[in-house]
Amino acid sequence: MMGEQSVMQEELFYGFSLERHVPADHLLRAIDRFVDLSAIRQHLAPFYSPIGRPSIDPELLIRMLIVGYCFGIRSERRLCEEVHLNLAYRWFC
The residue extents of the domains of the chain are 56-92
Whether residue 30 has pLDDT greater than 90: yes
pTM comes to 0.78
1 pLDDT tier (thresholds 50, 70, 90): very low
**Res. 7: pLDDT tops 70:** no
Give 63-79 pLDDT, tens digit per residue.
999 999 999 999 999 99
Express as a percent the part of the chain with pLDDT over 90: 59
Give alpha helix (H) positions in 1-93: 18-21, 27-34, 40-44, 58-70, 76-85, 87-92
pLDDT of 50 higher than 60: yes
d(CA 31, CA 20): 17
Instruction: Spell out the residues 6+ positions from residue 71 whose beta carbon is closer than 8 angstroms to its own.
Output: 82
Give the mean pLDDT of 35-48: 90
Q: Which residue has the higher pLDDT, 31 or 54?
A: 31
